[in-house]
Structure 1
Amino acid sequence: MTAATRPDLLALDAGTLASLANRGLVKRAAREVAAGDGPVPVLDPDGTLRGTCPDGSVVALPPGTGLDGGSCTCGAPGVCRHRIALVLAHQGAAADATSDAAAASEGPAPADPPAPAP
């Protein structure tokens, strides 16, 4: 994923996602992403977030639309677990990038002080 993010998607918490779909789908998507079975988010230059899930479903979330305005090839009506998983994967990747940037700005860890001479 690029360093760019979608602030609208980063702002969605579990409660909001559950209100857009249901709590069960959010939990299932979260488990899949945590297990490494979620999509790898890719942000297109036009702001569309895309991902392909391990089951072959392809998800696209264009900017300026809600999750219901996105598309998924799974065929489920409404907001599916793949769309939710893409949001969660995007949030996780953004958090990882922030952590990596913070660690890089801190520089290398200080060396251990030398042992006292006997």
Structure 2
Amino acid sequence: MRTKAGRSQEALGEQNNYSASLVASVELCRRAPREEFIQRCDEALHGEGLLLRIREAILKERPVGGPKVKREELRHLVAVGDRRLGHLHVAPRGVGAYAGLNGAFVIATPPEGDDLAYLDNRSPGAPS
């Protein structure tokens, strides 16, 4: 999100009264961020709560595979979120059933007309 917003670690840190080294440590998963840090960065990057939802998911999930696996998962989430043509949406814990549980889906918004959704998976009861 930071690079997509065109900000350096130093600029984001200065804007929020943190050092560039703290921003780097959090981004590299060397240091767990405090909630205040996440809130300030989310506001500065216009994340609309995305960073807070990611933090919530991380804190509440049981680690599988240890810290190294969790670090790679987080790096993958950041990479997906930085893609120009893609969007990362993290559903808050406790949201219940939603369309994304069945796998990835695409929402296309044509210039005119309603949004269209495509879900690439087998629906229950569909022939295999």
Question: Relative contact order (alpha carbons < 8 A, sep ≥ 6): 1 or 2 greater?
Answer: 1
Q: TM-score, normalised by structure 1?
A: 0.26
Q: TM-score, normalised by structure 2?
A: 0.25
